[in-house]
Amino acid sequence: MTTLFLTVYFALFSVLSIFGLHRYFITYLYAKNKGRKPEAAPFESIPENELPFVTVQLPIYNERYVAPRLIEAVSRLEYPKDKLEIQVLDDSTDETTAIVRELVERYQREGFQMVLIHRENRSGYKAGALNEGLSQMRGSLVAVFDADFVPTADFLKKTVPHFIGRPKIGMVQVRWDHLNRDFSLLTQTQSVFLDGHFMLEHTARNRSGRFFNFNGTAGIWQRECIQSSGGWHCDTLTEDLDLSYRAQLAGWQFIFLNDVVSPAELPVDLNAFKTQQHRWAKGSIQTARKLVPVILKSKFPLKVKVEALFHLCANFGYVCMLLVSILMPFSIYLRHHLHWGRLFIVDVPFFLSATFSVTFFYCYSQREIYADWLSRLKYLPFNLALGIGLSVNNSKAVIEALFSQRGEFTRTPKYAVIKKGDLWKGKIYRGRLDFVSFVELALAIHFTIAVLYAFQQKLYLSLPFLMIFQAGYAYTALLSFYQSEKFSHFLPLLRFSPQTTDK
């Protein structure tokens, strides 16, 4: 029985190691191909009569704090007004609709071709709203921005030229930047996650001829690409990932511009962040269920198919991480009790391949983006701990995707919080606390007991492994409780700043 237990334990660690080694491969692909920068004619060299008509879609649902900021930013886009249409796709059920209607009417008086398309129901959620706008739009190109984004004025000038004279280009995606990166430890850690995904993963996949995906926002599509690929589907929670793969399987080409950025607001509420991660994880597995058979039967090269499998199935790593978390303390106890102490040495290569690769991956991405990247390395241990702490939340998403239907599209609350000191607690749209946080707390206690046992038994080699897991689960659990509206009134002495009420 003990042998079977340890076999399962090391098998799970082996799977994690494979995912870890894949990060080294992505980093290699990036380094090999980063010089293959997409080229396009300068915007100023294109005659105005050859510029395509562009529609900008702004899907919004109950975004009273950030919707005005988005609409104002889009109104500053540098593009001929007679060739620019702005659709505010509003599914809101609160005062957001009145706020955006007033803004739309103001910009209409100023000569903008801006329209408000308000739906009385959320049929199809975001995908449904985008399809509604698609059926009414005039542009041959369509850019999409979520409510938390603040596109730069030159966005269209830097993306539209890539479509000129290239009819097979279906979509251009730009890299996300972070408006409130310095707000808190949580936002700093999130920025590291996203920097690695965009700078290394997207660049490596796109420039090496693999598939990559539109991220739901800060990108621009050719209308014909969307329509010929079947339009926006609402049978997964990641309609962007789904359409991206369907379009590329149909032969459309995508471009990623890692030197063009679109700033966005990161979630400051851990419960909201977990909701976002849950949606992304569940949606990616739903998309995998839907499209992996199609990918495997396609005529694309094996290297493209293999990378697509790693991409779409990456969240299975969280399930392995959760199972390893449950088994690790028992494994240490069993090996010590049976005097199999030398087997602790086996943990080292597994741990390094599964976790050091993550640190290397994100360290490399910081170096590629920031001149002061060395000062940002201090966030990497928190990055690793948060990744572990998310394993319960994201494992739940994976299991739901495997055994249930699509589910509700739950958007990520945003509060127009940019700099340190901005208040957000007490505002509406709070992230929800669920049983996941209680499981995280139980695992934090689980590892605390294991740390005490290892210290008592002088198993010092095990302590670093145990403590990083302990920190990850303790952080996600305790911060979730602290930031929860339900529990905040039980913790008046722990509040670091006064709260405002905006209900």
Catalytic residues: 91, 240
- The runs of H, that is alpha helices, within 221-356 are 223-228, 239-249, 270-297, 302-313, 316-337, 344-351
Strand order in the sheet with 219-222: 113-118, 84-90, 54-60, 141-144, 219-222, 169-178, 253-264
Which residues are bridge partners to 60 per DSSP? 90
Q: How far apart are CA 102 and CA 114, in angstroms?
A: 12
Ramachandran assignment for 458, one of left (phi > 0), alpha (psi -120 to 50 degrees), beta (any other): left
C-beta separation of 291 from 248 below 8 A: no
Asked whether 370 and 261 are in contact (CB, 8 A), the reply is no
Distance separating alpha carbons of residues 170 and 225, to the nearest angstrom: 5
User: What separation, in Å, do the N-terminal and C-terminal C-alpha atoms of the chain show?
Assistant: 57
C-alpha 179/C-alpha 172 separation (Å) is 22
143, 56 in Cβ contact below 8 A? yes
CA distances from 344 to 6, 328, 348 (A): 12, 11, 7
Please give the distance of CA 280 from its chain centroid, rounded to a whole number: 6
Give the pair of three-digit tokens for residue 261: 């950025």
| CA–CA gap between residue 445 and residue 494 (Å, rounded) | 21
Distance CA 309, CA 222 (A): 26
User: Which tokens go with 87?
Assistant: 């659709």
Sign of CA dihedral 76, 79, 82, 87: negative
Fill in the DSSP letter of residue 426. Answer: T
